[in-house]
Structures are given as C-alpha cells and as structure tokens.
Structure 1
Amino acid sequence: MKSEPGTYSWDDLVRDKRTHWDGVRNYQARNNMKAMKEGDLALFYHSVNEKAVVGVAKIVKEYYQDPSTDDERWVVVDVAPYQQLKSSVTLDDIKNDKRLEQMVLVRNSRLSVQPVKKEEFDIILGMSE
C-alpha cells in the first residue's frame, strides 16, 4: 500500500492506531483491496520523494463502501500498524535485487495498492534487517 508521506505517513498510522484506506480511484488497485482478507499483512510504502517500504500494516477490516464518496464502485479497507521496519527498503534496493525483478512494484510502480507474493514480502523484510 503506497502513500505520500506528506499526505498520510507511517507515523500518522502509528499515531491513529487504525484508519480506513480511502481515495483509491483505480480499478486494479480497488480489486487488490477487495482481495484483502482480515489478518493479511501489507507493506507500507512511502511514495514520491522517499520511495521506500517503511513498515508493515495489518488488514483489520475487509472492504466496504468508501465513506468519502457516494459512488459504490469505490471501497476501503481498515488497516492498523503491525511492525515498523528496522531500516527502510528503498525502491532502488528492490529494483537492484534480482529475486524481486518480477515484483509488481518494479514493473508498475505507479499502482497505489499492489499484490505482493509471500516470497517477495519475506525478502523485503529480510532486507530491512
């Protein structure tokens, strides 16, 4: 899950303890949110200037109507902080790791909510150690 830190950062999520992930207006990103199940973990990525995975969020409520719009096509999920990474894993780090060359973040870095394979997730957590 990607967010501009100036709009909503990892520190904001930690402060809030829980939030709904709103404002997604891309069908592919929306479908990725619809696939999320309660208890799933998500990489929290700061986009724009930082371009780095900084934490892990937990899905605490599956998708429902986005309260910021009356348009029923758009949904949100509720997330809570799960774990801050010991050190951020930058987009450059990810792109330079051959094991991650097929990762959606490498192939389509603009998509705001992306699927991550378990192997990719584990590699990124290991890179943060």
Structure 2
Amino acid sequence: DESNHVFLIAGYPKYKCPYVWLRSNHKQLIQLQDDQRLETDNPLKLDTIEAWKNQDIKLWDIVAEVMTISLTPLAPENPFEVDHSYYDTLPLEECVVRTGAMVYFLQNVYLKDTTYADKIFEDIKLLQQRHFASFEELNWA
C-alpha cells in the first residue's frame, strides 16, 4: 500500500543509541540523485538520532520527527493530536484508564517545551476533564 509507511525503530545496547529504518515505500520518502542507488539497509539520518547522545531525547521525539517526515508537506502542527471521539467508543472503565494514561504521556511530552506544546496542553485539558468526569461516573455506577 503506497499510502502507508513502515518504520523500524530499534535500540542496541552496544551503540547506546536507537536507530530508525524505513521498511516500505522508500522511493516516496527518499530523494536520490541520478548517480545514487537506494540503500535500504542503512538507518535514516534523523536530527533526533544525531542529538541522542548530547540532549535529553525521548522515543516520542523520534516518533514525532518520523511522523513529520512521513506526512510532509501535510505534516500536522501537533504530531500527537488526540482523536477525542475515540474515547466515546470505550466502555467507562477503559475510558478512565486510557484517558489517565494518555494524560500522563502528554504531560511528559508537554514538559519538553516543543513547538507544539500549546496544542498538547489543550489536549491535556480536554482529556483531564473527560477523565475526571468518567471517574466520577464510574464511582456512582
């Protein structure tokens, strides 16, 4: 399927650094010069991977960069934008657990002070409201 991209993210203790490989649709994402051939076994050169040893880079930073690269030129302003309608489909108990987990994750992303931190904060507020409302409903059920 040419509309999907498959990436492999792996970490090796020997190298003390994660690496990312593109596993599908190479020609869509990799621009080659006329004299270059496609190297599919080499990891991608990403800014987050380069910064791994010198900065506090987390896995979600790598995922955000990979998503931005994959979706360019239509990359989202917030690579972790929450589909709030998803939580409407969950049983009450699941909604409480999953909103709590997502709030925890997004708080960690927010604390990194990314360019999309304001968007993350908006999602956190909405998820917290849903979490506490669902939790209260669960207590009264």
Flag the structure with higher helix content: 2
Compare CA radii of gyration and give the structure with the larger one. 2
> Taking CA–CA contacts closer than 8 Å with sequence separation of 6 or more, which of the two structures ends up with the larger relative contact order?
1
Fold conserved between structures, TM > 0.5: no
Flag the structure with higher strand content: 1
TM-score by length of 1: 0.26
TM-score by length of 2: 0.25
